[in-house]
Amino acid sequence: MIAQYIQLGDRDWNVLIYYNVSKEDFVEIADSLMQLDCPEEEMRKAFKTLRRKNTGLTFSNTNYKMSIVCIAQATDIS
Domain range annotation of the chain: 2-72
Give pLDDT tens digits along the chain (78 positions): 999 999 998 889 999 999 999 889 999 999 999 999 999 999 999 999 999 999 999 999 999 999 999 999 999 887
Three-class DSSP category at 50: helix
Torsions phi, psi for 45 (to 5 deg)? -60, -40
Sequence length of the chain is: 78
Alpha-carbon distance 46 to 48, whole Å?
5
Please give the model's pTM, rounded to 2 decimal places: 0.90
CB 19 within 8 A of CB 74: no
